[in-house]
Structure 1
């Protein structure tokens, strides 16, 4: 139902757009602001961006404009075809709507069928590697998930208290920090000024855990992990958390993106890129051999990766093929055994239903980044990473274009 308040807000936004058009030429930033003020009329928002030449802009502004145009065009298609708000939560109307939502969150180059095939191939690869490590450790089970469950609650993998878990994370951070230049290239020294931190008294009182403070040139950054249920956080699962949340993951990508100051519309239409970088960072650490002497830590990494692949496959199957929640849950149990700490199976599946194509977009961003990195080493790989990090996030098709030009 359209309320009077919504009509008034829409009228004010259209009036703003009219003033913007009358006042041209205006800055791209102002035009993007005006476009963002028209969330229920993506066609009108798109028209505001028609007169700008990409070639006259800097690289960050190019990304702002290109990303906004691509996302708004898809939103216009969703509104015209399905008469729904593209930002609304809840299940899509049908598979065609779901496919558009995937393009909205990832890029115009995505093919849902090919994406599912690629994800399944990666799941099988990771499961085979995990099963080989389980065999080496003498851990038996009917499938990969059962083997993870057999390992999960072993008392020797339990931390005695949160301080011990935090100290272990910072120990792994000290291992990873000097490898950052080799893993992703040179980054500003202040990006490395990070730590796994304990919660404050206020955090504990408000049950506020699992959050980041990004580093800046003048302030250190950190990650406050949620360590309330230590029994559900076996020690071998935390090294990959360090790679993802700290270095070379979010504490490299997100601060550099903040410095590039992307427009909010770019954040809206490439939402999974940051998580994709974190997943990619986990793999960079594993592939570099930092877990070579610790097969348990590698298993922890593989469990996180199987979790993210599994929820992406579930996202596609639920919304494109009508898979039942019960069958999706059974698949996740078979693939990973135990849920991720913050994503119990039933709660995570309910969230996937309400946020279609979000989880698929995140993992597919990681695979897109990995595709661009393939067969690059040394300076060539470092240059590729700079293209990804220098100006902030981008959609998958733009990522592929820029990768080809490196």
Structure 2
């Protein structure tokens, strides 16, 4: 194996983008469409990302200024906020326990408001657990595991706590809304428990649909008042959106605009305030998985656009619009047809 790695390394080039491969532009377009289920060119993805980075960055800037953080770029101020002692749990077992307790309180608070916007709620409970220390070094920051179909195991929202300093307080709520409620847990569990579709449809997964819903869920939590009196919590939510918008820029930048790894890494750091080590890991991911990182924000854009359209129809209600979750995951192009054909929202 070492000999094979050495052989491959000798042939490797520094350029990371698909553009350097035979039919690379067509390959990137196909990879992005497979991930997002939306047909967009690399240039279109790039322009969408730049526009959304500018809009979200301006919103963060305004809130930070109200909190007395006026010096430096948005990215620099987010770096400073990440390091503030009042935003950090101790990197100890007691600190981790306090962090998990915070997440559980957040879930309970959000669940109490769900009936305002959802006619159907999951029967399966969701628990927050720490990623087992034996696998935390290679595990993502947070992820969701659905409940068993027979009800013998609850749904689990895992959070990686190898270093609590990577999880500042102001960003915890939006991560919980993404992974648990009203994010992945609501979307996945309602599909699994739905009586409207066969089992094979209940188990379906499309990244643009599911990750787009989870980002829409972060926005919905904000709209439902989960950050009232908590401006830094709202900054955490907007930083999450900014990060996903930045992904559109750097993914298309590397694969369609011939950006170097260094340019992509520097842009990610400067825009979002994410530490260099994590940023380099993100760039590695985009290099080997072209298009996938675009599914989050493109999916979010489609979900919010469809809701805005639904609001213009007579009889719109949030509960009516959200009932489309009972039909299971589907490509975004099909979701558009379903919402428009069924008049989802009324």
TM-score by length of 1: 0.69
C-alpha separation in 2, matches of 1:265 and 1:315: 28
Please state if 1:152 is matched with 2:152: no
Helix, strand or coil at the partner of 2:268: helix
Helix, strand or coil at the partner of 2:327: coil
Q: Identify which of 119, 123, 138 aligns with 1:186.
A: 119
Report the CA distance between 1:104 and its aligned residue: 2.2
Partner of 2:67: 137
Question: 1:1-400 counterparts in 2 under 5 A?
Answer: 91=18, 93=21, 94-160=24-90, 161-183=95-117, 185-191=118-124, 193-198=125-130, 203-207=132-136, 210-215=142-147, 218=151, 219-259=153-193, 260=197, 261-262=199-200, 267=205, 270-339=206-275, 344-374=278-308, 376=310, 379-387=316-324, 389-400=325-336
C-alpha separation in 2, matches of 1:116 and 1:256: 34
Say if 1:90 and 1:127 are closer, same or farther in 2 by CA, change over 3 A.
closer
Gaps of 5+ in 2: 1-15
Please state if 1:403 is matched with 2:339: yes
Partner of 2:5: none
C-alpha separation in 2, matches of 1:271 and 1:217: 25
Retained in 2: the 8 A contact 1:127–1:144?
A: yes
Say if 1:364 and 1:108 are closer, same or farther in 2 by CA, change over 3 A.
closer
Retained in 1: the 8 A contact 2:33–2:40?
A: yes
Helix, strand or coil at the partner of 1:180: helix
Report the CA distance between 1:169 and its aligned residue: 0.8
Query: Highest relative contact order (Cα 8 Å, sep 6+), 1 or 2?
Result: 2
Helix, strand or coil at the partner of 1:204: coil
Helix, strand or coil at the partner of 1:186: coil
RMSD over equivalenced CA pairs, Å: 2.6
Report the CA distance between 1:118 and its aligned residue: 2.6
Report the CA distance between 1:125 and its aligned residue: 1.6
C-alpha separation in 2, matches of 1:346 and 1:298: 26
Report the CA distance between 1:217 and its aligned residue: 7.1
C-alpha separation in 2, matches of 1:273 and 1:108: 10
Retained in 2: the 8 A contact 1:158–1:235?
A: yes
Helix, strand or coil at the partner of 1:272: helix
Retained in 2: the 8 A contact 1:190–1:220?
A: no
Q: 1:36-88: CA deviations, max 9, x gaps? A: xxxxxxxxxxxxxxxxxxxxxxxxxxxxxxxxxxxxxxxxxxxxxxxxxxxxx
**Structure showing greater Rg:** 1
Aligned residues: 308
C-alpha separation in 2, matches of 1:223 and 1:303: 21
Larger mean Cα displacement after TM superposition, 255-264 or 361-370 = 255-264
Gaps of 5+ in 1: 1-88
Partner of 2:3: none
Report the CA distance between 1:163 and its aligned residue: 0.5
Partner of 2:7: none
Helix, strand or coil at the partner of 1:142: coil
C-alpha separation in 1, matches of 2:174 and 2:58: 19
